[in-house]
Chains A and B, each alone.
Chain A
Amino acid sequence: MGSSFTPIAPRPAPVNTEGLLPWIRRNLFGNLPSAVVTVLLVALALWLLPQLVSWAVLKAVVAPNFDLCQAARGSGACWGVITEKHRLIIFGRYPFDQQWRPEIATLALVALLMASCVRACWKPWLVALWVAVLALFFALMRGGVLGLAPVETDRWGGLPLTIMLATLSIVGAFPLAVVVALGRRSKMPAIKTICVVYVELIRGVPLISVLFMASFMFPLFMPPGTSIDVLIRVLVGITLFAAAYMAEIVRGGLQAIPKGQQEAADTLGLSYWQAQRKIILPQALALVVPGIMNNFIAIFKDTSLVTIVSLYELTGAMGLALNSDSDWRPFKIEAYLFIAAIYFAFCFSMSRYSLWIEKRLSFSKNR
Chain B
Amino acid sequence: MTEPIITFDKVNKWYGNNFHVLRDIDLSVARGERIVICGPSGSGKSTLIRCINRLEEHQQGTLKVDGVELTDDVKAIEQIRKNVGMVFQQFNLFPHLTVLENLTLAPMWVGKLPKKDAEEKAMLQLKRVRIAEQAGKYPLQLSGGQQQRVAIARALCLTPKIMLFDEPTSALDPEMIKEVLDVMIELAAGGITMLCVTHEMGFAKAVADRVIFMDQGQIIEQNAPHAFFDNPQSERTKDFLSKILGH
Contacts and interface: CB of A to CB of B under 8 A. Distances in A.
Nearest to A267: B86
A270 B97 CA distance: 15
B95 A263 contact: no
A367 B158 CA distance: 30
B95 A266 contact: no
B109 A270 contact: yes
Interface in A270-290: 270, 274, 278-279, 282-283, 286
A263 B55 contact: yes
Given A260-B90, A364-B138, A367-B138, A270 B96 contact: no
Interface string A253-272: 00000101101101111100
A268 B90 contact: no
Contact of A283 (B55, B90, B92, B95): B95
Contacts, number: 66
Interface of B: 53-55, 78, 81-82, 84-86, 88, 90, 92-96, 105-106, 109-110, 138, 140-141, 154-155, 158
A363 B158 contact: no
B109 to A, nearest CB: 5
A326 interface: no
A364 B105 CA distance: 18
Contacts of A267: 53, 55, 81, 84-86, 155
Across the A-B interface, the 9 shortest Cβ-Cβ residue pairs: A264-B92, A268-B106, A260-B92, A269-B81, A364-B95, A269-B110, A267-B86, A363-B96, A282-B96
A366 interface: yes
A329 to B, nearest CB: 55
Interface string A280-318: 001100100000000000000000000000000000000
A264 B138 CA distance: 17
Contacts of A363: 95-96, 138
Contacts of A269: 78, 81-82, 106, 110, 158
A288 to B, nearest CB: 14
B88 A278 contact: no
Nearest to B151: A264
Interface of A: 258, 260-261, 263-264, 266-270, 274, 278-279, 282-283, 286, 363-367
A266 B50 CA distance: 11
Contacts of B155: 267-268
Contacts of A367: 138, 141
Classify the secondary structure of A's interface with B.
helix
Nearest to A367: B138
A263 B93 CA distance: 11
**Most chain B beta-carbon neighbours within 10 Å: one of A258, A274, A282, A364:** A364
A279 B93 CA distance: 10
Nearest to B98: A363
Most buried by B among A258, A261, A365: A261
B53 A274 contact: no
B96 A268 contact: no
Contact of B88 (A264, A282, A365): A264
Contact of B92 (A263, A274, A278, A365): A263
Nearest to A365: B140
Contacts of B54: 266
A263 B81 CA distance: 12
Nearest to A278: B105
Nearest to B82: A269
B94 A261 contact: yes
User: Of residues A266, A268, A278, A363, which shows the largest number of chain B Cβ atoms within 10 Å of its Cβ?
Assistant: A268
A228 to B, nearest CB: 40
Contacts of B82: 269
A286 B154 CA distance: 24
Contacts of B95: 283, 363-364
14 contacts: A261-B94, A263-B55, A267-B55, A267-B81, A268-B155, A269-B82, A270-B110, A274-B109, A278-B109, A279-B105, A363-B96, A364-B138, A365-B140, A366-B141
A188 B54 CA distance: 18
B56 to A, nearest CB: 10
B205 to A, nearest CB: 28
A79 B140 CA distance: 56
A279 B94 contact: yes
Nearest to B105: A278
A126 B197 CA distance: 49
A347 to B, nearest CB: 29
B94 to A, nearest CB: 6
Nearest to A282: B96
Contacts of A274: 109-110
Contacts of B55: 263, 266-267
